């Protein structure tokens, strides 16, 4: 038999979390909670497993298609298992003017991945403006933000990752 | 030109993000005064202040509020657009991280004026730190009786919720934001009806930018006349400008509406000039969608009307400087790529046109451009949105315009640089297209 989606503890967190989120919306607008509900699922599982999205759709009294549509529209939602660390490097104009293309090349070499590729540990992506234009270049690892990056600083950040 | 700080006055102070520090600096006095006024009088004050929206369009805030119908029996909503994502823009992030209560106080004032008992703050998904700060501040405001069943003792219930986006620039467009708040993909709606009439959950809704509502407390604390006088005839107050690119000291600066681009870039208290030996080649004055300006335009005030006079816009306050060693084809390619990535795919001209622009620009940048490519590029941009003037887009929302305006303006003002790429079959800047700081430390 396939492993259950949640551990009992995760299931409790999920159920209570969804119940709390639903209090923020009108009773006849449960499906409005889709983004926070998917975020909760992803926080628990690291990505959005299909059976999890089915559960979200049921909780929100909406269709599975709606859950999947939303999940695939927004780049921060992972409908496939990403690496342990998703590394998003901003290469937009302001960051590129402060070396972002060189930063990306350095990471590609350091991680042995091209932008857009992933392995067990890392998923390296180019991303769009992260509002660090004044402290460029910048990157985000999962949801943690790092700015004013130098080679040294990048090495230090990655040395701490396991 | 020095100006009294209104929005950024508390930044950098110890614990500036806490309720205690905010109240110590006079916080929530504006709300107290606003609550003594009738909602209609609050609206009149905002109109008198000449406050204009700081999210991009510069629409008069009081006028926007006045579009909410008085006789509609449905609940009214306030939605705060904290989905700051326009390249070159990073001011709302600092408000939310350093002084979230200033935004929350503005929310309470706006809701009182509008008769809205619910407010959703839609913050972009990437702002984890900002979301933590805003959530903590909301909790403090509930605990202190500022939000909840009564707003500061007044018989006026107010619930404020923070909703995090999940990575989609389009959700900064106000109707896409509403779609996203309703739990859908961010596809902009056809207007009319405007959100003020049919917005969130089909109810009248005002969507305001973070900086816009953060400007409200001081308007009520110190008076609408005082606020209007800080600005120009048509734009009240001060504003936050985000300076990035080839300058020695990038950052967010609070400026008078009279400050020029030159002053921002060169002044010791702001950008501190370009690195030695470099000069300005191009400046984007209001976020990456704003038509580009040249070194000849530096004496323009960074303000709605003055920039409109230069056929560009103050937009979201993002000023991006490119020095004379920067390749503008590559710069425009980066901008075009952004809009191609962020096009929601709903309208054909934008869905098909934005990647086409990107491919053509990449081709030219790599030295594979052919005679005629520049005209094809302009043709594609024209099909998305003709220019000038701004606002002729063939798409449901302004993302189409935002994607086409840079192309029109870069090619129009720097055509010889595009042609050089084609005739020389290479980028004239070789391996160093990104100007002084582009080589990375």
Burial class (CB in 10 A: 0-12, 13-18, 19+), A156: exposed
CA distance A48 to A21: 18
- Residue B298 contacts residue B265 (beta carbons within 8 Å): yes
Contacts of B204 (CB under 8 A, 6+ apart): B68, B69, B72, B74, B76, B77, B195, B196, B197, B198
For domain A8-73, give the fold: Arc Repressor Mutant, subunit A (1.10.10)
Chain B residue at shortest CA distance from A69: B185
**Interatomic CA distance for residues B281 and B328, integer angstroms:** 9
Grade residue B441 by pLDDT with cuts at 50, 70 and 90.
Answer: confident
Supply angle C-alpha A76, A78, A81, rounded to 5. 145
The average confidence (pLDDT) of chain B is 97
DSSP-derived letter for residue A98 is T
Q: According to CATH, where is 1.10.10 located in chain A?
A: 8-73
For residue A152, pLDDT over 60 is answered with yes
B368 near A CB under 8 A = no
**What residue in B sits closest to A151 (Cα-Cα)?**
B441
Is residue B102 helix, strand or coil?
helix
Q: CATH number of the domain at B239-323, please?
A: 3.10.20.600
Nearest CA in chain A to B322: A97
Question: How many residues are there in chain A?
Answer: 162
Of A39, A97, A132, the CB nearest to B326: A97
Per-residue pLDDT, B246: 98
What Cα–Cα distance (Å) separates residue B279 from each residue in B102, B266, B275, B311, B326? 38, 11, 8, 23, 10
CA distance A25 to B143: 21
CB atoms within 10 A of CB A112: 11
Model pLDDT, residue B2: 75
State whether residue A80 is helix, strand or coil: coil
CB neighbours (10 Å) of residue A141? Answer: 18
pLDDT band of B36, cuts 50, 70, 90: very high
Residue of B nearest to A88 (CA): B126
CB-CB neighbours of B346 under 10 Å: 18
Question: Does the pLDDT value for residue A33 go beyond 70?
Answer: yes
Token duo for residue B430: 């070789």
Mutation for B interface: A133, A145, A149, A154, most B CBs within 10 A: A133
Nearest C-alpha in B relative to A57: B183
Compute the distance between CA of residue B215 and CA of residue B127 in angstroms, rounded to an integer.
21
Cα Rg of chain A, angstroms: 18
* Shortest distance, CA A1 to any CA of chain B (angstroms): 33
CA distance B378 to B105: 46
Asked: is B328-423 a CATH 1.20.1440.230 domain? The reply is yes
For residue B296, the distance in angstroms to the closest alpha carbon of chain A comes to 21
Q: Would you state the pLDDT for residue A118?
A: 94
| Alpha-carbon dihedral sign for residues B101, B42, B122, A15 | positive
Is the CB of B167 less than 8 angstroms away from the CB of A92?
no
- The answer to whether the CB atoms of A143 and B128 lie below 8 A apart is yes
In whole angstroms, what is the distance from residue A28 CA to residue B140 CA? 29
- Are B246 and B321 in contact by the 8 Å Cβ rule? The answer is yes
- What is the 3-state composition of chain B as percent helix, strand, coil, each rounded to the nearest 5? 45, 15, 45
Task: Indicate the pLDDT class of residue A34, thresholds 50, 70 and 90.
Answer: very high
Whether the CB of A107 is below 8 Å from some CB of chain B: the reply is no
Residue range(s) occupied by CATH 3.40.30.10 in chain A: 85-159
Which of A60, A129, A150 to mutate: most B Cβ within 10 Å? Answer: A129
Distance CA B242, CA A129 (A): 13
Q: Reply yes or no on whether the pLDDT at B1 is more than 70.
A: no
Q: Long-range contacts: B192-196, Cβ < 8 Å, 24+?
A: B194/B67, B195/B79, B196/B64, B196/B65, B196/B67, B196/B68, B196/B69
Calpha distance B149→B160 (Å, rounded):
11
Minimal Cβ distance to A99: which of B124, B330, B439: B439
CATH tag, A85-159 = 3.40.30.10
CA separation for the pair A57, B257 (Å, rounded): 49
Cβ distance B320 to A93 less than 8 Å, yes or no, reads yes
- Alpha helix stretches (DSSP H) within chain A: 8-22, 34-45, 50-59, 64-73, 93-96, 100-111, 151-159
Structural domain boundaries of chain B? 19-230, 239-323, 328-423
**Chain B 92-121, residues with CB within 8 Å of chain A CB atoms:** 93
Above 60 in pLDDT, residue A70? yes
Selected for mutation to probe chain A from B85, B86, B162, B441 (highest A CB count within 10 Å) is B441
CA dist B383 and B395 (Å) reads: 10
Chain A residues lying within 8 Å of B185, measured CB to CB: 69-70, 73-74
What pLDDT sits at residue A1?
A: 57
* pLDDT tens, position by position, B159-168: 999 999 999 9
pLDDT at position A83: 85
Q: What CATH code would you report for B19-230? A: 3.40.50.11540
For B124, residues 6+ apart whose C-beta sits below 8 A from its C-beta are A131, B82, B83, B84, B85, B164, B165, B167, B171, B172
Task: Name the pLDDT band for B3 (thresholds 50, 70, 90).
Answer: confident
pTM: 0.97
Nearest CA in chain A to B435: A97
Contact status, residue B318 vs residue B89, Cβ threshold 8 Å: yes
User: For residue A24, which residues of chain B lie inside 8 Å, CB to CB?
Assistant: 159, 161, 163
B279 touching chain A per CB within 8 A: no
Q: In chain B, which residues have their Cβ closer than 8 Å to the Cβ of A32?
A: 181-183, 201
> Which residues from chain B sit within 8 angstroms of residue A103, using beta carbons?
440
Residue contact B164–A35, C-beta within 8 A: yes
The pLDDT of residue A3 is 82
Which chain B residue shows the shortest CA-CA distance from A139? B126
DSSP track, B343-375: --S-SHHHHHHHHHHHHHHHHHHTT---TTHHH
What's the maximum distance between 2 C-alpha atoms anywhere in chain A?
54
Q: Percent helix, strand, coil in chain A (nearest 5)?
A: 50, 10, 40
Report the alpha-carbon angle B66-B113-B160, nearest 5.
115
A87 and chain B: CB distance < 8 Å anywhere?
Answer: no
Q: Which residues contact B87 (CB under 8 A, 6 or more apart)?
A: A92, A93, A94, A128, A129, A133, B287, B288, B318, B320, B335, B338
């Amino acid at each position: 038999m396939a492993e259950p989606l949640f551990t009992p503890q995760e299931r409790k967190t999920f159920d209570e979390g969804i119940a709390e989120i639903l209090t923020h919306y009108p009773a006849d607008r449960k499906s409005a909670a889709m983004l926070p509900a998917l975020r909760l699922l992803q926080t628990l599982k690291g990505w959005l497993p299909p059976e999890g999205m089915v559960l979200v759709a049921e909780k929100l009294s909406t269709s599975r298609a709606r859950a999947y549509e939303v999940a695939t529209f927004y780049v921060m939602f992972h409908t496939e298992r990403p690496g342990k660390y998703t590394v998003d490097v901003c290469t937009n104009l302001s960051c590129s003017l402060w070396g972002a293309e060189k930063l990306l090349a350095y990471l590609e070499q350091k991680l042995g991945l091209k932008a857009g590729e992933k392995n067990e540990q890392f998923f390296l992506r180019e991303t769009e403006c992260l509002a660090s234009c004044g402290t460029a270049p910048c990157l985000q690892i999962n949801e943690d933000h790092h700015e004013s990056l130098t080679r040294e600083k990048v090495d230090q950040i990655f040395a701490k990752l396991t | 030109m020095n100006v009294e700080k209104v929005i950024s006055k508390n930044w950098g102070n110890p614990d500036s993000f806490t309720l205690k520090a905010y109240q110590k600096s006079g916080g929530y006095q504006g709300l107290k005064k606003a609550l003594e006024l009738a909602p209609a009088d609050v609206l009149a004050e905002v109109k008198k202040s000449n406050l204009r929206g700081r999210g991009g369009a510069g629409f008069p805030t009081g006028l926007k509020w006045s579009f909410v119908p008085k006789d509609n029996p449905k609940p009214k909503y306030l939605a705060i657009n904290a989905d700051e994502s326009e390249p070159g823009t990073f001011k709302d992030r600092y408000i939310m991280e350093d002084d979230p209560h200033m935004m929350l106080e503005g929310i309470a004032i706006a809701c009182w004026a509008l008769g809205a008992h619910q407010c959703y703050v839609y913050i972009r998904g990437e702002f984890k730190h900002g979301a933590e700060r805003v959530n903590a501040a909301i909790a403090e405001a509930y605990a202190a009786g500022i939000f909840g069943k009564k707003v500061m003792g007044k018989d006026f219930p107010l619930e404020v919720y923070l909703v995090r986006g999940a990575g989609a620039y389009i959700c900064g467009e106000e109707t896409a934001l509403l779609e996203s708040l309703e739990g859908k993909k961010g596809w902009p709606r056809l207007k009319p009806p405007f959100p003020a009439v049919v917005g969130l959950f089909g109810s009248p809704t005002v969507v305001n930018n973070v900086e816009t509502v953060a400007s409200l407390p001081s308007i009520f604390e110190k008076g609408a006349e005082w606020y209007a006088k800080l600005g120009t005839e048509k734009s009240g107050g001060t504003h936050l400008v985000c300076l990035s690119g080839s300058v020695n000291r990038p950052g967010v600066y609070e400026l008078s509406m009279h400050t020029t681009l030159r002053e921002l870039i060169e002044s010791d208290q702001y950008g501190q000039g370009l690195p030695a030996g470099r000069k300005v080649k191009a400046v984007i004055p209001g976020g990456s969608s704003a038509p580009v300006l040249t070194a000849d335009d530096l004496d323009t005030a960074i303000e709605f009307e003055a920039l409109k006079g230069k056929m560009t816009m103050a937009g979201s306050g993002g000023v991006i400087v490119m020095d004379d060693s920067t390749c503008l084809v590559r710069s425009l390619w980066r901008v075009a790529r952004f809009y191609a990535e962020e096009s929601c795919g709903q309208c054909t001209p934008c869905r098909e046109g934005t990647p086409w622009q990107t491919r053509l620009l990449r081709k030219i940048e790599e030295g594979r451009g052919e005679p005629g490519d520049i005209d094809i590029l302009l043709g594609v941009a024209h099909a998305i949105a003709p220019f000038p003037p701004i606002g002729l887009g063939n798409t449901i929302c302004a993302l189409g315009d935002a994607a086409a305006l840079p192309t029109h303006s870069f090619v129009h003002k720097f055509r010889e640089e595009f042609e050089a790429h084609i005739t020389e079959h290479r980028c004239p800047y070789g391996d160093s297209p990104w100007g002084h700081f582009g080589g990375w430390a």
